[in-house]
Structures are given as structure tokens and as C-alpha cells.
Amino acid sequence: MIDHKKVRVRFAPSPTGPLHMGGVRTALYNYLFAKKHQGDFILRIEDTDQQRFVAGAEEYIIASLKWCGILPNEGVGFAEGPFSPYRQSERKDLYKTYVETLIRNGHAYYAFDTASSLDQLRKEREQQGSSFAYGPQNRHQLFNSLNMTAAEVLQRLNEGTPYVVRIKVPENDLIVVHDLIRGEVEMHTSQMDDKVLFKSDGMPTYHLANVVDDHLMEITHVIRGEEWLPSAPLHVLLYKSFGWESTMPKFAHLPLLLKPDGNGKLSKRDGDRLGFPVFPLNWTDPLTGEQSKGYKEQGYIPEAFVNMLAHLGWHAADDQEIYSMEALIEAFSLERVSKSGAKFDPDKTKWYNEVYLRSSTDQHLAMLFLPIVQEQLTKSIPSRHLCTSAGHLIDAESLLAYCNKAVALVKDKAQFINEFWDLCNYLFVAPITIDTTILAKKWKPPYETFFIKFADALSTLTSMEATQAEKLHTAIANDLALKPGEVMQLLRIMVSGQGSGVNLFEMIALLGGKESSTRIEQNLKKWLQTLSTDAAASRQ
């Protein structure tokens, strides 16, 4: 399949909105294929349709690829390469020459029909129960250069009459697309119409710009979504018309991403309905202000997201499901991409995340958790910040080291990084309330002395190991003839406010002696006050 030429593939999105998961998968397969064959992966922005341009979409595409680790060798937002520029609007002048070549060689022609005259024809045909297509059957009756003298054409062009350039589809030909996933896909030219290639505003249409750029950028394989398969015969025809058949790229049209029930194409609405994102990052529509959720902000690990995407349409030779990017590169092949649509499974996506979360290093998770902590800390009341450690928590580096220890305690309890904060915010911020229901149920008067003594002992310790805290706890309990276990949950409430959570003595060790001690003292006071208020109330 691969000949001697260096593999060059491209991801060529149009900046018409946020990048859908399907688009990220197309980029990923291109990337994997390029890396597998020591080739180049290019990002080209196809922005010739100015009417569909959406502000911020290009930046979104670039940021999404970066988050996923799908990094182009050349392209917009990445390294400038020898085929620069990579944004089609900046290549505008170049397409005109190519379209003129086609016209000169009789493969394309000027059409001056107005939109309203074509609409009228369409309506008439519909009324007659048929349809209208601008093509071999009727182009000779329409208002175009095929039916005019050269002088007439020139006159119209000089007068500035609006025009489009259309491809002249051959009358009786069979176009064959050799698709690496689907085999031979045929289309007879009688089923094709004379698509517009160029408009008088100087802009090429997608079809022309796409083919010219793939040729100029020496693209060897066009790997893209199935929705482009119907356009492929036209593209093949364009390669033939330009005389570029010998260097025509090979095609591979990827299967659709389907709804979880397999019933049709996966859409944003499915995500909204079933509660999963369809975009890699959060997106706010610049026109409507509508907000869409992204995998990143939902707490997904990019490697898990990429691993999941890789399996949507491609399957490995074995049953292995967990693949690093390097392993994917090694294992990937277009032969193992299926023709039929790939059902998206949101639960499987969560499963991937959990697997990655469990196997990620604490350092890595801490890096991802740090911005969440920073955001939360700025939101919370400053006086509630960790008191003892407040000094060393101010700078990001110390906070990162602290997060490192915190994630080690919490990661087994979560599926997502953004569950961390809810699970362990008491490691960063002293609790405002304490669980009095459990306290009321389990409280006995001698416990007061236990907590006073334990808080006292802790206050003198600047740093300690969890085992040290535990020993201290046992010793003080024994001295007071208490079983260490009976005050354990209550101690947890005094420190964290709640009856369950991360390992108790690890928590105390991480908070440090002074902070733990202050919390015990304050919460004990609060609790004793509650007790006496309750007692007074019951006496009345």
C-alpha cells in the first residue's frame, strides 16, 4: 500500500464551529498513520466559505489538537513548513490560475445564470415531479460559456457580470474511487452534476481548493470522514482533469460515529440528551452564546479520551484496549478500520478515564488538579484557607507538591479529576460545618479529654508521618481507657467535618500538627456548645 514516497497526510477542517469528536478522530487516524510510516501530518484550515466562518473556531481546533497530543508537523498554529501558508484564505490568488487552466483545457466553464433563474428552474422541475441538476443533460440550454462565443464571454467578464466556474463533467464515463477501507467505489458521470469550482468573488469552493492543495502539499493519503465519500468521484475527476492522476492521493473514508443506540449519526443533541460531551473542550457559540461542554473540563484525561477515540472505528489485532499513543502508532493500520459506523458508548469512555486515572502518576494528576484547586481557593473565603500551611501554600510550586500528596489519598475514590475537589476539599480548606448527627449518636463525655489531649500533642508537631499520628492516637486513647477505634470516626469529623473520607492518619499528617490541632480545638468547642444548647433547651 505504501510506495516509496514519503507519507504526507492532512487534517483539513473548516472553521465553522467547534471540532466534533468525529473530527478529532479523523485527525487522530491521520496522525497515527503518518507517525506509523514516518511521515508528515499537516493541519490545513479550509476557510474559503466566508459565510460559514465562525470566530474562534480555528483557535478551538488548534487548542483541541494540542490538548489531545495530536500534534501536526506543519500547519496553522504549528510549525510553518515548506508548503506555507496553510490557511486557504491566504492562498486565494493561487486557485485562480488553476481554474483558468481547467477552463482553457475544456474541463470547466463560466456560468452566468443568476441564483433566481436557477431557483425558478428547480421549482418548475419539482412541479413536473422531477429534479434539476446543472450538468451534461441541460448545460447546453443554460446561460454559460459553452453556449457563447469567446467574445460574448469576454464581454460579460469585462462588464463584471457575476459568474461561477463549473466543472464540465464528462457525458458518459465511469469514475472509480479506490478506497483503502471500502474498496472500489464507482459513480457514473450521469449521476454527477457540474459542481461550482470558483466564484466571481475570487474564492474557490471547497472541492477545487481541497484538490489543488492536496496536490501542491504533496499529500499521499486523504483520510477523512465518510460524509466526503460522495465528493470523492468529483475529486478524482478533478485530478484527471488537471493531469495529476499519477500523483493522486489514495483515499480512505472513515466510518461514521453513531449514537449510543446505533440509530444514526452522533450529534450534539444526543450528548445534551444523554449527558455526555461531544466536543473535546468547552465551547461558547459566539453568535447565540450557547455553551457546550467539553471532555477536558468534564475532568477527562486526554490520553483516555484519545485511547477511547482510537477504538471508535478501528480495532486492534488482539483484545487489548489500553494503548498509549506510542502503542497506537505501532498497532494502527487502515486495514483494521471498519466500513460500518462505530457506536459511541459514553460508559466505556468513563471506564477508560477511570483506568487512566488509576494508572496515572500522582505527579501527573497533581498537575491536572492544581488549576482546579487554585480556582476553588480564590473562590473560597480567604480566612478558611489552610492556616498552618497557608504560608507554604501561597506559591504554585508548594501547592503543587501539596496536591501531589492529596491526589495520592483521593485518586482511588474517583473516576474523574474534577471529582477530587468535592472528595477532599477539607484538605485545603477548613470545614465550616461538622456532621453533628454522627457526633450525637456516638458522643460520650470522656471523649472531650481525649480530644483536648490529642489536639495538645499534635500542636507541638511540625511535621509527622501518618504512623506517628496513629501511635499518638492509640497511646492517648489507652491512657484514658478508651478503645482507639471508638473515637476514630469522631476524630475524623473534628478534622474534616465529615464522617468518611480519605485515610484518617494520612489526612492528619498531610494537614500537619498545628492545622489538625486547631481544627480539633475549634470543632470540639463548636460541638460542646451545641451539646449545652441542646441540654438547656431540653431542660426548659
Which residues are at the interface with ligand GLU (CB under 6 A)?
Answer: 12-14, 46, 206, 210, 224, 228
Residues catalogued as catalytic: 268
Give the amino acid at 213. Answer: D
The residues, ordered by sequence, that sit 6+ positions from 318 with a Cβ below 8 Å of its Cβ are none
The residues, ordered by sequence, that sit 6+ positions from 222 with a Cβ below 8 Å of its Cβ are 9, 10, 214, 235, 249, 250, 251, 252
Q: How far is the CB of 429 from ligand GLU (least distance, A)?
A: 46
CA angle 458, 429, 398 (to 5 degrees): 80
- Packing angle of the helix pair 206-216, 232-242 (nearest 10 deg): 60
Q: How far is the CB of 180 from ligand GLU (least distance, A)?
A: 14
Q: How far is the CB of 135 from ligand GLU (least distance, A)?
A: 22
Q: How far is the CB of 215 from ligand GLU (least distance, A)?
A: 13
Q: How far is the CB of 216 from ligand GLU (least distance, A)?
A: 14
CA separation for the pair 150, 155 (Å, rounded): 9
For residues 210 and 518, which CB has a smaller minimum distance to ligand GLU in the complex?
210
Q: How far is the CB of 86 from ligand GLU (least distance, A)?
A: 13
How far, rounded to the nearest angstrom, does the alpha carbon of residue 529 sit from its chain's CA centroid?
Answer: 51
The residues, ordered by sequence, that sit 6+ positions from 333 with a Cβ below 8 Å of its Cβ are 36
CA separation for the pair 131, 90 (Å, rounded): 37
Residue 376's φ and ψ, nearest 5 degrees, are -65, -40
For residues 7 and 520, which CB has a smaller minimum distance to ligand GLU in the complex?
7
Task: Look at residues 286, 304, 398, 407 and name the one whose alpha carbon lies nearest to residue 354.
Answer: 304
Burial of residue 232 (number of CB atoms within 10 Å: 0-12, 13-18, 19+): buried
CA separation for the pair 399, 466 (Å, rounded): 20
Q: How far is the CB of 399 from ligand GLU (least distance, A)?
A: 41
Please give the C-alpha separations between residue 276 and each of 273, 288, 367, in angstroms, as whole numbers.
Answer: 8, 21, 24
Task: Look at residues 272, 291, 273 and name the one whose alpha carbon lies nearest to residue 282.
Answer: 291
Q: How far is the CB of 208 from ligand GLU (least distance, A)?
A: 12
Dump strand ranges (E) for 5-107: 8-11, 40-43, 74-75
For residues 12 and 520, which CB has a smaller minimum distance to ligand GLU in the complex?
12
Reading phi first (left if > 0) and then psi (alpha if -120 to 50, else beta), residue 395 is in beta
For residues 20 and 37, which CB has a smaller minimum distance to ligand GLU in the complex?
20
Residue 194 near residue 110, CB atoms below 8 Å: no
CA separation for the pair 223, 229 (Å, rounded): 11
For residues 20 and 107, which CB has a smaller minimum distance to ligand GLU in the complex?
20
CA separation for the pair 323, 331 (Å, rounded): 9
Cell of 31: 496522525
Residue 191: Cβ within 10 Å count: 13
Q: How far is the CB of 210 from ligand GLU (least distance, A)?
A: 5
How far, rounded to the nearest angstrom, does the alpha carbon of residue 534 sit from its chain's CA centroid?
Answer: 54
